[in-house]
């Protein structure tokens, strides 16, 4: 993977069109900004019950966006990452329709995970209560097949997203076919979506178990054989993230976004500095993604009855969430938890710009901290444009995360790129991509409690970020190619 900033985007929601329009944007107004692009689900269809994360056909590009030749052409401009949705498949998929029509006689009968396949002797109340799920209720849906048989299917997320039995030959063949298609069409990296839930076991919590790591290792081996790198996406207690990072290629640093907000809200760097000292460096750093701002990632371990503490105290975590709600004028409250469907118990739904009260200086300081962290930075398309909460989309869909999934027109993109905060962000992205110091050694230097000092040094080249957390302002001092020094005020 290139040591350059990457873009995370829905193809149509940034380009206003398809693959060709996105390619034109990356080769035009966004030229030189991104070494890679994570294309959020572009499979058929892009507008299912979960914004493409419930594909009917995971190996088909949605025709409204183009076809695989367009993906290959785009891969000549930037490195491409795609999602492998390892945990589930759509209830509208041809595989499930065949199973629903034929039952046990279907060639795909083994693809779908049932209650009985995990609990052949039945499940106790404790078995069911032990299952970890990111949303309320139990992860099962009763389905009546055309044969008259009734099945209790495992559905971790929604009734339209049917969990795959990844240990069954049918499940393995399904996933390997996706990797084969990706490898043949220029995709060099995959994100394993919802992989933490992929393995189920009676008597366990069915989330990030030792067997899950075994599955990830096996899948990664299959991917590497096809020259594909693997990114694991898991929201979990911070110690779990450290453990996961030691066993995989790449992880997200999901603790970073709430810790950056905490530092800027409370003017104290302690929790963030403590995380910097122990965090994994094989991380993709983010402030925002297509999902909400994670809270579980810095809180106490919910799965530990002893209450292993989080990176910040519970009262400060509560105050952080309330500050986001206040900064957004209450908009994030309307999009979070029980206020909107598609419930996420561990996230606050809000654009990162609005979470900071649309404060340009604070926003640029946050991005600078992100870009200075060891790892590879990713910038979400809404965050690139300093996007505001899309309350009209939220009102139409009542899906909380849609508040941060705006559909930009071509005109909106060009207008936003002219905003001073976006122009400064683009300068910061180019600095991160081009300055040779970022290929050297990282240091979190000593600083006051209300400040943060981060530094990269590569031989005689260096770049130094200083953040005044009380003033919520940042400056970058650096060497120049001519041998001098200069300062960038953000």
Q: How far apart are alpha carbons 54 and 40 in whole angstroms?
A: 12
Task: Please give the residue range of the domain that contains residue 101.
Answer: 94-162
Do residues 156 and 180 both lie within one domain? Answer: no
pLDDT at 61 over 90: yes
Same domain, 273 and 343: yes
322 among known catalytic residues: no
Same structural domain, 359 and 278 = yes
In a shared domain, residues 325 and 207: yes
Taking the C-alpha atoms of residue 478 and residue 476, their distance in angstroms, rounded to an integer, is: 6
Catalytic residue, from 21, 62, 79, 233: name it. Answer: 233
Summarize pLDDT for 96-108 with one digit per residue, the tens. Answer: 999 999 999 999 9
pLDDT in tens, 449-466: 999 999 999 999 999 999
Contact by Cβ (8 Å): 437, 456: yes
**146 and 11 assigned to the same domain:** no
Is residue 1 in a domain?
no
| CATH code, domain with 122 | 3.90.400.10
348: in domain: yes
**pLDDT exceeds cutoff 60 at 149:** yes
Q: Which residues pair with 456 in a beta bridge?
A: 442, 463
Within-domain flag for 481: yes
pLDDT of residue 337: 76
Does residue 435 share a domain with residue 462?
no
Domains contained in the chain, number: 3
Share of the chain above pLDDT 90, in %: 84
What average pLDDT does this structure show over 257-279? Answer: 97
Counting residues of the chain whose pLDDT is more than 70, the rounded percentage is 97
73 is written with which tokens?
Answer: 């052409």
pLDDT at 49: 78
Say yes or no: 432 and 466 in one domain.
no
- Please list, in sequence order, all residues whose beta carbon lies within 8 angstroms of the beta carbon of residue 85, skipping any fewer than 6 positions away: 41, 53, 54, 55, 58, 193, 194
pLDDT above 70: residue 127:
yes
- pLDDT of residue 343 exceeding 50: no
pLDDT digit string, tens, across residues 402-443:
999 999 999 999 999 999 999 999 999 999 999 999 999 999
Same domain, yes or no: 141 and 190 = no
Q: Is 390 a catalytic residue?
A: no
Task: Please tell me whether residues 274 and 367 are part of one structural domain.
Answer: yes
User: Rounded CA gap, 247 and 484, in Å?
Assistant: 42
- Chain centroid to Cα 402, Å, comes to 15
Whether 339 shows a pLDDT value over 70: the answer reads no
User: Are 364 and 281 in a shared domain?
Assistant: yes
Of 162, 190, 216, which residue constitutes the final position of a domain? 162
Task: Single out the residue in 110, 138, 162 at which a domain terminates.
Answer: 162
Higher-confidence residue of 343 and 483: namely 483
Q: Report the candidate in 398, 276, 420 with the shortest Cα–Cα distance to residue 343.
A: 398
Q: Which of 193, 249, 291, 297 is catalytic?
A: 193
Q: What is the mean pLDDT of residues 61-77?
A: 97
Q: How far apart are CA 426 and CA 349, in angstroms?
A: 25
The encoded tokens of residue 256 equal 């970073």
Asked if residue 375 and residue 297 are part of one domain, the reply reads: yes
The per-residue pLDDT of the chain, averaged, comes to 93
Using pLDDT thresholds of 50, 70 and 90, give the confidence band for residue 188: very high
Q: Do the domain assignments include residue 142?
A: yes
Q: State the greatest distance between any 2 C-alpha atoms of the chain, in Å, as a whole number.
A: 78
In terms of phi and psi (left: phi > 0; alpha: psi -120 to 50; beta: otherwise), the region of 361 is alpha
| Statement to judge: residues 80 and 102 lie in one domain | no
Residue 342 clears pLDDT 70, i.e. is over it: no
């Amino acid at each position: 993977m290139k040591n350059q900033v990457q873009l995370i985007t829905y193809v149509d929601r940034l380009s206003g069109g398809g693959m060709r329009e996105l390619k034109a944007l990356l080769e035009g107004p966004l030229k030189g900004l991104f070494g890679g692009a994570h294309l959020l689900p572009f499979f058929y269809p892009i507008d299912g019950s979960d914004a493409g994360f419930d594909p009917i056909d995971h190996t088909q590009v949605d025709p409204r966006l183009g076809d695989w030749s367009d993906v290959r052409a785009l891969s000549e401009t930037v490195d491409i990452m795609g999602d492998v949705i390892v945990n589930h498949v759509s209830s509208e998929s041809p595989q499930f329709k065949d199973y629903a029509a034929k039952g046990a006689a279907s060639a795909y009968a083994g693809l779908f995970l049932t209650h009985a396949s995990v609990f052949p002797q039945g499940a106790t109340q404790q078995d069911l209560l032990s299952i970890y799920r990111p949303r309320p209720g139990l992860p099962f849906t009763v389905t009546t097949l055309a044969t008259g048989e009734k099945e209790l299917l495992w559905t971790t997320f929604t009734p339209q997203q049917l969990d795959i039995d990844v240990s069954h030959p049918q499940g393995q063949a399904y996933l390997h076919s996706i990797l084969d298609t990706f490898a043949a069409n220029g995709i060099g990296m995959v994100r394993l979506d919802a992989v933490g839930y992929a393995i189920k076991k009676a008597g366990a919590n069915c989330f990030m178990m030792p067997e899950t790591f075994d599955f990830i290792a096996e899948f990664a081996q299959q991917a590497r054989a096809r020259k594909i790198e693997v990114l694991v996406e898991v929201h979990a207690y911070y110690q779990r993230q450290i453990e996961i990072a030691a066993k995989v290629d790449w992880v997200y640093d999901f603790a970073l976004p709430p810790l950056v907000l905490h530092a800027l809200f409370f003017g104290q760097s302690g929790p963030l500095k403590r995380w910097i000292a122990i965090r994994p460096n094989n991380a993709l750093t983010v402030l925002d993604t297509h999902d909400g701002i994670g809270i579980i990632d810095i809180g106490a371990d919910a799965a530990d009855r002893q209450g292993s503490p989080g990176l910040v105290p519970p009262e400060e975590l509560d105050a952080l969430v309330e500050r986001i709600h206040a900064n957004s004028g209450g908009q994030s409250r309307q999009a979070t938890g029980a206020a909107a469907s598609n419930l996420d118990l561990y996230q606050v739904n809000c654009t990162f710009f609005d979470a900071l009260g649309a404060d340009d200086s604070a926003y640029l300081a946050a991005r600078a901290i992100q870009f200075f962290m060891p790892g590879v930075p990713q910038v979400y398309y809404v965050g690139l444009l300093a996007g505001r909460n899309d309350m009209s989309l939220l009102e139409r869909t009542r899906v909380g995360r849609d508040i941060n999934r705006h559909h930009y027109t071509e005109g909106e993109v060009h207008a936003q790129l002219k905003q001073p905060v976006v122009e400064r962000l683009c300068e910061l992205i180019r600095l991160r991509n081009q300055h040779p110091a970022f290929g050297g050694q990282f240091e979190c230097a000593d600083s006051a409690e209300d400040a943060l000092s981060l530094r990269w040094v590569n031989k005689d080249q260096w770049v130094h970020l200083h953040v005044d957390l009380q003033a919520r302002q940042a400056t970058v001092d650096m060497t120049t190619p001519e041998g001098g020094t200069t300062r960038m005020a953000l």
